[in-house]
Amino acid sequence: MPRSIWKGSISFGLVQIPVALYPAEEPDELHFTQLDRRTMAPIRYERVNRETGEPVSWDDIVRGYPYEKDEYVVLSDEDLRRANVEATQTVDILDFVDASEIDPMYYDKPYFLAPASQNGKKRSPVTAYVLLREALRKTGKVGIAKVVIRTREHIAAVRPHGRGLVLNLLRFAHELRSDEELDLPEMDAKGKGLGKRELEMAERLVAEMATAWEPEKYKDEYRDDVMKLIEKKVKSGRTTAPAEPVEEERERRATGTVDLIALLKKSLGQKGAKAANDEAKNGAKNDRPAPEEGGKSRARKAETPKRKGGSSRRAA
């Protein structure tokens, strides 16, 4: 069973639900060691006293807040807990809101909330826990709460998830940047060179690619490729020689305009591409100006491939 990082209670109204907080994610990141390229020796980073230059052990390190230049107030874990005992031990639900109203940009990090024993006694009844879970599930609401984890207060969403409750840390509004400072296109797509035909083809492509959400089918392919490269280097014995920098492919750089219709046709597949091609042809016919009198034969003649040496250009 995973180890809890926090124990306290969920509080809403007069209800107190003893809970424990557990990490709900397990990042699978690649960790690299920095090396001296001349000798391939690992680089060591030390905790050093800035004045004496001597190393400092973890036991001798304390937490200090600078209130003036070179002047600090030392705070221990007990000091931080005593600052607001109730806040450090409570998921305090302030409001209930519709889950659909929370912009996904606010979601940060998930934790599991599980029923916990109270005052060291036997496991407490889970009636209140189940009551909150089912009330949230049936109403479609999430609880907006404040909680202190380690040394920081967070805003969070308490929501049902399967048989349990999840506490999702949220970002405060002031932590999100506004897109006003970016040069973004207006909401009106008509004025941006997009016609009805392009939009219909894009919508059809989205419909063709639509499927049920299955998170298990998405894999970290980049990590797998890096691990294969590492294994290949180990097998070949090239474990220490740094590779020469590879020049980035020029094809990946954006040059010139994009033929959106052509890309959409290619993406739609044979059936969709054929239909889109027919639409494009019909549109071209409608947009083509009427030929001048006497110019009909010249247009046909220009469309006929020239022959060279008694054979067609295709044969050449």
Q: Over the stretch 124-137, which tens digit does the pLDDT of each residue have?
A: 557 889 999 999 99
For residue 45, the model assigns a pLDDT of 83
Longest dimension (CA), the chain: 101
For residue 99, the model assigns a pLDDT of 92
Burial (CB < 10 A; 0-12, 13-18, 19+), residue 261, is middle
**Mean pLDDT (whole number) for 288-313:** 44
Degrees (nearest 5) of the Cα angle 22, 23, 29?
160
Q: Say what the pTM is.
A: 0.62
Burial (CB < 10 A; 0-12, 13-18, 19+), residue 276, is buried
CB atoms within 10 A of CB 128: 17
Contact assessment for residue 305 and residue 313, using Cβ atoms and an 8 Å cutoff: yes
Q: Which residues of 132-149 are buried (b: 16+ CB within 10 A; e: fewer)?
A: bbeebeeeebbbbbebbb
Taking only the tens place, the pLDDT of each residue in 68-106 is 888 889 888 778 777 765 566 789 999 999 999 999 999
Taking only the tens place, the pLDDT of each residue in 237-272 is 776 665 555 554 444 444 445 566 777 777 776 445
Taking only the tens place, the pLDDT of each residue in 36-45 is 888 888 888 8
Q: Give 30's contacts (C-beta < 8 A, 6+ positions apart).
A: 223, 226, 227
Contact assessment for residue 64 and residue 74, using Cβ atoms and an 8 Å cutoff: yes
CB atoms within 10 A of CB 96: 16
Distance of alpha carbon 130 from alpha carbon 269, whole angstroms: 49
Reading the block at residue 302, the tokens are 């220009």
For residue 283, the model assigns a pLDDT of 53
Query: By C-alpha distance, which of 23, 19, 17, 18 is closest to 3?
Result: 23
Distance of alpha carbon 116 from alpha carbon 134, whole angstroms: 18
- Output the CA–CA distances (angstroms, integers) from residue 292 to 7, 152, 296, 298, in the order listed: 85, 78, 7, 10
